[in-house]
Amino acid sequence: MPVQVQVVESKPIAETTEYLALLKSRHSATINPQVEGYITGIFVKSGDHVAAGTALLQIDPLKQEATVNSQEATRLAQESNLNLARVNLERAKKLAEAGVIAKSDLDNAQTNYDTAVAQLKSLEHQVEQQKVELRYYKVSSPMDGIVGDIPVRVGDRVIVSTLLTTVDEPGALEAYLYIPAARGKDLRLGLPVKLLDEAGNVRTTSQITFVSPQVDPETQTVLAKAAVPNSKANLRIAQQVRAQVVWGSAAGPVAPVLAVTRINGQFFVFVAEKNAKGTIARQRGVKVGEIIGNDYAVLDGLKPGDHLIVSGTQFLQDGAPVSEQMQSSGPKTENTPKTGT
């Protein structure tokens, strides 16, 4: 039976591993309240573009407003006390100059005035502090960005540890990869990373820019980050994508995909071997790796120089005599045996 053969060549084979990566913004702000209270208003929704200073949520300020009003009333009362102390001090000075009162009375009037001044300043600082805290009841965006998920609702009571939302700056992203600790020793800065789409095509390329010095004790993984350009904005924050880490490359044999058959989960190829009676087709089990273009990377079972049969394999059996025809550079064609009449 005539068959086309191809001499097995050694080509650079990349050692890669695929992981699931999570995309995060390189500039993201987590919004937590600085005060406690009930939410009375939400002014934005997830996905809105906001500018720095834009109001996001409102926490009920009535209690704080009452505190500010009370402090303001106390301050006004102290102003009256200060005015009275000033009048008494001026009167005491005139009486002391006329010799009507003792110097100790003048000293007491001066002390009362100084105390009233100090108390007024203290109350003014307290009022200012309460007014500053009142501004915290309106939660604003700290930067320009896109509003993330808002897990709270109007009427919810929040505390300072409650997550209100996030604001993410659009543009460049980072891919978070969680590499098993057993492979962590091979991680290093600059390792190539390929982001793949659903079909397995390369969407964009990057490289490792950060490797955590610690292993997560719960998942036994090492965090690695890769900067992801996103000029076309076709990737989104919190999106999960397939990421392929390229650990290195080494020369090894390859075999065309069409020349490899799979039987019961095992991969096989036919090679042309010469013996005393001529050339026969010998079936070999092989261990294959990733697909490189139209070829399998062969990890075991083939070596450079073997004559790999690339056509008519569906009609072959182990030990069948064959006639070799070297494959031309043109398109591959399947040779089928001719039947006599």
Confirm whether 85 is domain-assigned: yes
> Binning pLDDT at 50, 70 and 90, where does residue 337 land?
very low
Which pLDDT score, from 0 to 100, does residue 145 have?
86
Residues 6+ apart with CB under 8 A from 90: none
**104: helix, strand or coil:** helix
Task: Return the percentage of the chain with pLDDT > 70, whole number.
Answer: 96
Please tell me whether residues 112 and 231 are part of one structural domain. no
- Domain-ending residue, one of 135, 154, 182: 135
Please tell me whether residues 162 and 213 are part of one structural domain. no
Confirm whether 266 is domain-assigned: yes
> Torsions phi, psi of 179, nearest 5?
-90, 130
**Over the chain, what is the mean pLDDT?**
86
Q: Is 258 left (phi over 0), alpha (psi -120 to 50) or beta?
A: alpha
Confirm whether 331 is domain-assigned: no
Confirm whether 319 is domain-assigned: yes
Q: Count of CB atoms within 10 A of residue 209's CB?
A: 16
- Domain-ending residue, one of 112, 145, 168: 168
pLDDT in tens, 265-295: 889 999 988 888 788 888 989 988 777 778 8
Please tell me whether residues 104 and 129 are part of one structural domain. yes
Which H or E run includes 2? strand 2-7
Please tell me whether residues 191 and 254 are part of one structural domain. no
Instruction: Answer yes or no: are the C-beta atoms of 10 and 251 closer than 8 Å.
Output: yes
Domain with 307 in it: 2-12+250-326
Which pLDDT score, from 0 to 100, does residue 138 have?
93
pLDDT in tens, 24-83: 888 888 999 999 999 999 999 988 999 999 999 999 999 888 989 999 999 999 999 999
pLDDT in tens, 94-131: 888 888 888 888 899 999 999 999 999 999 999 999 89
Confirm whether 335 is domain-assigned: no
Please tell me whether residues 254 and 190 are part of one structural domain. no
Dihedral of the alpha carbons of 128, 134, 139, 142, in degrees to the nearest 10: 0
Confirm whether 341 is domain-assigned: no
Instruction: Answer yes or no: are the C-beta atoms of 313 and 259 closer than 8 Å.
Output: yes
Half-sphere exposure of 224 (CA within 13 A, CB side): 29
Please tell me whether residues 254 and 321 are part of one structural domain. yes
Please tell me whether residues 222 and 320 are part of one structural domain. no
Q: What is the CATH number of the domain that holds 290?
A: 2.40.420.20
**Structural domain count of the chain:** 4
Please tell me whether residues 70 and 52 are part of one structural domain. no
Please tell me whether residues 44 and 131 are part of one structural domain. no
Q: What is the CATH number of the domain that holds 200?
A: 2.40.30.170
pTM: 0.55
Confirm whether 198 is domain-assigned: yes
> Binning pLDDT at 50, 70 and 90, where does residue 328 land?
low
